[in-house]
Amino acid sequence: MLKRKASLTATALMLLMSGVLAACGGGDNNKENASTPTSGTSKNGAAETAQLKGDFEIQYFVGGYGDAWWKSMIAGFKELHPDLNIKESAGPKINDQMKPRWIKNDPPDLVYIDGAGGLDVGQAVKDGQLMDLTEWFASAENVDGEKLSDVVITQPSAIEGKLYTVPLVFGSWGTFYDKALFSKNGWEAPKDFDSFVTVSEKIKAAGIAPYIHPGVYTGYLIGGFLFPAMVSANGDDPSILQDVSDLKPGIFKSEPVMKAVGQLVTMRDKGLIDKAAVALNHTDSQMQFLQHKDAFIPNGLWLPNEMAKDTPEGFEFGYIPSISQAPGGKYVANPYTSPMAIASKAKNPEAAKAFIQYIFTKKAAIEWAEKTGALMNLKVDLDSSKASEVSKGAIKFYSSDNLIVAPAVPIQADVNKEMENATLALTDNKIQADEWAERMEKIAEKVRSQK
């Protein structure tokens, strides 16, 4: 039930630094038409496109990003194609509700995959449920006449050489803190694991628990801490995560993985992890964090927007991609993406494609950033936009040489569950690192044998 499960299970995705830099670097290198996606252009685009007719069903999960952007996009699309009957299957429980329809091959035309119980892309491709978009994506243009493959920040990931998804949301896990609280107390934001431990002990001495995470959804701790730590421990080589994803025999006993797990043990043994964490879900833990009961929290870039209503006056979200690196080591950003896909059994695939072409525009990307506080997977200049400070701050990290972007690797569902279980047990001192490794190797072995 990890709400951003899609980010862990989504298809492999390699983020190239150059792409990110081109996308998010300071305003000067951006395309000239960044601010010109006027309605005029889109009308021209529409005129070229044939009018779409019939039914068109979109399934989209409504979570931290809300549905304001979707409503606005769908309304705009409807204006272009008044004869199209658009059906929205949306909501926070939509994944559960639509699942039976996917099973019996009566899917919606277009799906945005995010949230608890979201479609497992690997499984869906295996089952032949998603449309092969390879050829279409290679040449498709958005309604402003730009090639989709040129405008996206991160390219769709291939499964056995073919593309099935287009990443819509682009973001990163990391560790959050309150800048205001830190400067008030003279604490420094950690730059590496050692400084994290040092400042945490100061925080603890001041009577605040240093580190909280949602123990009910251990995926946050894994995504925000453990995976980046594995990359740090592997000499900043992110290929370790691919090995974990592939369940290479012995990988969970390998030195880098054990070192990362060891850092968790250190945090546990020094009493830096809030004892209450094991019983909290994400909302509970985030409230604790906002109320200054805890100083750090592993989370994703969606956090400030999600908690906007409950953020106290004067609270300043600070974001650190990773806290596990050795002194002088690079930051590691563990990305998450939430993709869109077209069902292979779509009844109106033309409308689905046209809708993707309609939403992958700069105008839509700016609207996304402003409405959700997160980043859409499209190169656009946000500096003059009303995007959240955290998004803008995150971009500074992305554009630094001092940062490694890890791949967003899929973790098989059984392995993922066991990793959550074992990691939680480890942080609660119920098992030790060697038992953790033993359990992970065992489940990996089992899953390998089932293939």
Partner 1 sequence: MRPFAVNRIPRWISGAVLVLWAFCVVYPVFWSIMGSLKDNQQFFNGKAWALPKFPLLWSNFSYTWETYHFGRYFVNSIVVTVGSMALALLLSATTGYVLARYTFKGSGLLYYFYISSLMIPAILTLVPMFFLFDTLHLTNSLTGLILLYAIGALPFGIFVIMGFFKSLPRELSESATMDGASHYGVFLRIMLPLAMPGLITVSIVNALSFWNEYPLALILMNDPGRYTLPVGLAVMQGEMQYRTEWGPLFAGLFISMVPILLLYAIFQSRINEGLVAGAVK
Partner 2 sequence: MQLSLPEFHVRGDCMTAAWKRRLFIASFVWPTLILFLVFTVYPVLRGLHYSLFDWSGSAESMDYIGLRNFKDMASDPVIAKAIRNDYFLVFSKIFGIMLLAVFFAVALTRLKLRGSKFYRFAFFFPNVMSVVVIGVLWRFIYNPKLGILNGLLSETQGKPVETPWLGDSSYALLALLPPAIWAGVGFFMILLIAGIKGIPEPLYESAQIDGARQWKQFWHITVPLVWEQIKVSIVLIMLTSLNGSFAIVSVMTEGGPDNATQVLGYYLYQMGFKQYHMGYASAIGIVILVLSLVTTIMLQRIMKRDSVELS
Q: Binding residues for partner 1, per CB under 8 A?
A: 3, 62-64, 66, 89, 91-94, 96-98, 100, 103-104, 106, 281-283, 287, 291, 306-307, 309-310
CB nearer partner 2, residue 341 or residue 365: 341
Q: Which does 275 bind (CB under 5 to 8 A by kind): partner 2, partner 1, none?
A: partner 2
Contact 314, 180 (CB under 8 A): yes
For residue 192, give the nearest of 330, 317, 294, 319 by alpha carbon: 330
Q: Which does 97 bind (CB under 5 to 8 A by kind): partner 2, partner 1, none?
A: partner 1
> CB–CB of 159/11 below 8 Å?
yes
User: Is residue 246 within 8 Å of residue 179, measured between CB atoms?
Assistant: no
φ/ψ (deg, to 5) at 321: -60, -40
The footprint of partner 2 (CB under 8 A) covers 1, 96, 99, 102-105, 117, 119-120, 123-124, 126-129, 215-216, 275-280, 284, 288, 293, 413-414, 417, 421-422, 424-425, 428, 430
Least distance in Å: CB of 68 to partner 1? 12
Q: Minimum Å distance from CB 251 to partner 2?
A: 21
Cβ distance to partner 2 smaller for residue 184 or 430: 430
Which two three-digit tokens encode residue 274? 């809030």
Q: Which residues lie closer than 8 Å to 297 by C-beta, 6 or more apart?
A: 175, 176, 177, 211, 212, 213, 285, 286, 289, 303
Q: What pairs with residue 165 in β-bridges? A: 341
Minimum distance, C-beta of residue 299 to partner 1, in the bound complex (Å) = 13
Residue 306 contacts which entry, partner 2, partner 1, none (Cβ below 5-8 A, type-dependent): partner 1
Report the C-alpha gap between 387 and 27 in whole angstroms: 14
Q: Nearer to partner 2 by C-beta: 99 or 184?
A: 99
Residue 105 site contact among partner 2, partner 1, none (CB < 5 to 8 Å, cut-off depends on kind): partner 2
Q: How far is CA 401 from CA 211, 249, 321, 332, in A?
A: 28, 33, 13, 11
Smallest distance from partner 2 to CB 104, Å: 7
**DSSP per-residue codes, 232-252:** HHTTT-THHHHHHHHT-TTGG
**Binding partner at 43 among partner 2, partner 1, none, C-beta below 5 to 8 Å by kind:** none
Which partner, partner 2, partner 1, none, binds residue 91 by CB below 5 to 8 Å per kind? partner 1
276, interface contact from partner 2, partner 1, none, CB < 5-8 Å by kind: partner 2
Distance in Å, CB of 108 to partner 2, minimum: 15
The 3-state secondary structure of 95-150 reads: HHHHHHHHHCCCCCCEEECCCCCCCCHHHHHHCCCECCCHHHHHHCECCCCCEHHH
- Give me the least distance between CB of 157 and partner 2, in Å please: 20
Cβ closest to partner 2, residue 271 vs residue 393? 271
When CB distances are held under 5 to 8 angstroms depending on the partner's kind, the choice from partner 1, partner 2, none that residue 195 binds is none
Query: Min. distance of Cβ 291 from partner 1 in angstroms?
Result: 6
Q: Which is nearer to partner 1, 6 or 395 (CB)?
A: 6
Whole-number minimum distance, CB 306 to partner 1, in Å? Answer: 5
Cα 368 to the center of its chain, rounded Å: 15
- Helix/strand/coil for 418: helix
State in angstroms the smallest separation of the CB of 278 from partner 2: 3
Considering the complex, state which of residue 89 and residue 242 has its C-beta at the smaller distance from partner 1. Answer: 89
Which of 336, 353, 347, 361 lies closest to 133, judged by CA?
A: 353
Rounded Cα gap, residues 180 and 318, in angstroms: 9
Decide whether 243 or 274 has the Cβ nearer to partner 1.
274
